[in-house]
Amino acid sequence: MDRLEKLEKEHASKHVDIESKRFFFDVKENHKGKYLRITELSGGRSCIVIPLAGINLFKERLGEVIQEAEKLIDSNGSM
């Protein structure tokens, strides 16, 4: 384990399983500040990190994209 990883503090953590994928949502803090890390596990691992300073803008844009995706779900029956 890397020295900086030991200095991370976890504030919240949730996960969800969708099809063959597992997504983790972790709010953490390190020497750079507080952030949301979204990790996808599906054979491999990939993640994105969003500084909490931008979380409201991220949520707003994600909500907009989700609304458009829901229209596709409604028109096709499912994705």
Q: Where are the domains of the chain?
A: 3-76
CA distance 70 to 32: 36
Q: Spell out the residues 6+ positions from residue 72 whose beta carbon is closer than 8 angstroms to its own.
A: 79
CATH fold of 3-76 reads Secreted effector protein pipB2 fold (3.30.2450)
**Inter-residue contact 58 to 38 (CB < 8 Å):** no
**Inter-residue contact 32 to 21 (CB < 8 Å):** no
Per-residue pLDDT reduced to its tens digit, 27-41: 999 999 999 999 999
Strands (E), 1-78: 9-18, 21-30, 33-42, 44-51
| pLDDT in the model for residue 78 | 52
pLDDT at 5 over 60: no
Per-residue pLDDT reduced to its tens digit, 6-24: 688 999 999 999 999 999 9
